[in-house]
């Protein structure tokens, strides 16, 4: 199946963090076409196994998170308007007048819009003010709390940016949950490639849950798989827009990315320093196969790898990814060629690992 079609399918699926069921079953369906066995664990992670030829070779887990950030219904007003709070890193300045999809307790979605004071009635100060999410109200067309509840919406129900997908020029795609549905599509591409390749290691492709919530859903999969090495596939920050051009030497259309360092100090005090053996392997495989590869390091963000690496006696982890613009907004952008390069490179890396590969840090 073409990567573009998988990306579109995944981006249009609703899967708020903690409510990934539709995305999980879509991922399971794709992996069943190529893996030796596929299961969904008790936490909701989708795990596809590709058996290797050497039981002494390191076990490898390649993973990407399936969930997306969103909102949680906090209060239903008597007049039918809905208050929400953030679930994940929502940028409040993009919210007014956005369309949302709110999941009811039956799993069905209702469309709503985030209200904004009519421009003609807004004061000069209000026109340039960023409103907190807790001060905004969602309008689903209801005129009472009873009508909201009749639609299946209760306090605690999740909401997401209304799913959308748009193709731009130069292989660029734009819309909701590029972070991290492009990573999930890369997993599918890797599975399709592994089906026809002999490899020494048992390789597990995993779609994970809860990343945007608490970054720990992948841990349950790691405890089940017990890998020696792990590759996390997620977005990296693109530095090819004017606001970030002085910060990162990385951009759309320039290839896959390898993340050598990330650290999130606001409360989590965690991050990942890339496994040196996997880093060198990425460089070698990229050069030998003429796959463009960019390097990325940053503060202020982290991935599932931060917690996966701490399982067992230590799991050698590295972040691999694709550059993305406008992250955590309803209009994230990525280049499909970068996503394909990522899938191709990680496939080659995993297929080259054998019993002699060093799994320790040094």
117 — pLDDT class (breaks 50, 70, 90): confident
Q: Give pLDDT, residue 329.
A: 97
Are 3-68+176-352 and 70-161 the same fold in CATH? no
Please check the confidence at residue 1 and state whether its pLDDT lies above 80. Answer: no
Mean pLDDT of 177-196: 97
Q: In the predicted model, what is the mean pLDDT of residues 122-138? A: 89
**Number of helical (H) and strand (E) elements in the chain, helices listed first:** 9, 18
What average pLDDT does range 278-305 have in this prediction? 97
The pLDDT-based confidence of 97 (bands split at 50, 70, 90) is very high
Helix (H) or strand (E) holding 161: strand 158-161
Topology at the third CATH level for domain 3-68+176-352: Aminopeptidase (3.40.630)
pLDDT at 269: 87
Whether 123 shows a pLDDT value over 80: the answer reads yes
Q: What is the residue-averaged pLDDT of the chain?
A: 96
Domain ranges of the chain: 3-68+176-352, 70-161
Local confidence band at 268 (pLDDT 50, 70, 90 cut-offs): confident
- With 90 as the cut, is the pLDDT of residue 121 above it? no
Determine the distance from the C-alpha atom of residue 335 to the mean position of all C-alpha atoms in its chain, rounded to a whole number: 15
Alpha helices in 15-120 (DSSP H): 21-32
Class of domain 70-161: mainly beta
* pLDDT tops 80 at residue 161: yes
- Maximum alpha-carbon separation in the chain: 71
Structure confidence by residue, pLDDT tens digits, 7-60: 999 999 999 999 999 999 999 999 999 999 999 999 999 999 999 999 999 999
Give the Cα separation of 340 and 190 in Å (integer).
9
- Tell me what the mean pLDDT of segment 291-320 comes to: 96
pTM to 2 decimal places: 0.96
pLDDT grade for 124, boundaries at 50, 70 and 90: confident
Instruction: Please give the average per-residue pLDDT across 82-103, as a whole number.
Output: 95
CA 276 – CA 280 distance, rounded (Å): 6
Confidence of residue 127 (pLDDT cuts 50, 70, 90): confident
- Where are the alpha helices (H) located in 232-315, listed in sequence order? 276-288, 305-308
Which of the following is catalytic: 9, 20, 211, 332? 211
Task: Respond yes or no: is residue 211 known to be catalytic.
Answer: yes
């Amino acid at each position: 199946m073409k990567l573009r079609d998988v990306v579109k399918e995944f981006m249009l699926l609703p899967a708020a963090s903690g409510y990934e069921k539709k995305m999980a079953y879509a991922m399971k369906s794709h992996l069943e076409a190529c893996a030796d066995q596929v299961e969904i664990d008790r936490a909701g992670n989708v795990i596809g196994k590709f058996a290797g030829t050497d039981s002494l070779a390191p076990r490898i887990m390649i993973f990407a998170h399936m969930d997306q950030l969103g909102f949680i219904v906090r209060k239903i007003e008597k007049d039918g308007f809905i208050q929400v709070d953030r679930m994940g890193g929502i940028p409040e300045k993009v919210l007014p007048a956005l369309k949302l999809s709110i999941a009811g307790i039956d799993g069905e979605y209702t469309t709503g819009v985030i209200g904004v004071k009519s421009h003609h009635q807004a004061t000069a100060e209000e026109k340039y003010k960023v409103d907190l999410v807790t001060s905004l109200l969602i309008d689903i067309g209801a005129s009472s709390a009873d009508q909201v509840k009749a639609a299946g919406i209760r306090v605690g129900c999740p909401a997401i940016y209304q799913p959308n997908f748009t193709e731009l020029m130069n292989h660029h795609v734009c819309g909701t949950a590029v972070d991290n549905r492009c990573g999930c599509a890369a997993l599918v591409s890797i599975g399709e490639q592994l089906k026809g390749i002999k490899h020494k290691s048992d390789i597990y492709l995993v779609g994970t849950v809860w990343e945007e919530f608490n970054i720990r859903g992948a841990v349950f999969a790691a405890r089940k798989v017990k890998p020696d090495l792990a590759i996390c596939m997620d977005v990296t920050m693109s530095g090819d827009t004017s606001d970030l051009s002085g910060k990162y030497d990385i951009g759309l259309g320039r290839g896959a990315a390898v993340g050598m360092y990330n650290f999130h100090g606001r409360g989590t005090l965690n991050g990942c320093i890339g496994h040196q053996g996997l880093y060198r392997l990425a460089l070698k495989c990229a050069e030998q196969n003429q796959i463009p590869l960019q390097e990325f390091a940053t503060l202020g963000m982290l991935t599932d790898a931060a917690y996966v690496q701490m399982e067992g006696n230590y799991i050698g982890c590295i972040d691999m990814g694709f550059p993305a613009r406008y992250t955590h907004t309803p209009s994230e952008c990525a280049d499909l060629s970068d996503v394909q390069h990522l899938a191709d490179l990680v496939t080659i890396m995993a297929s080259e690992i054998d019993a002699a590969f060093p799994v320790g840090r040094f």
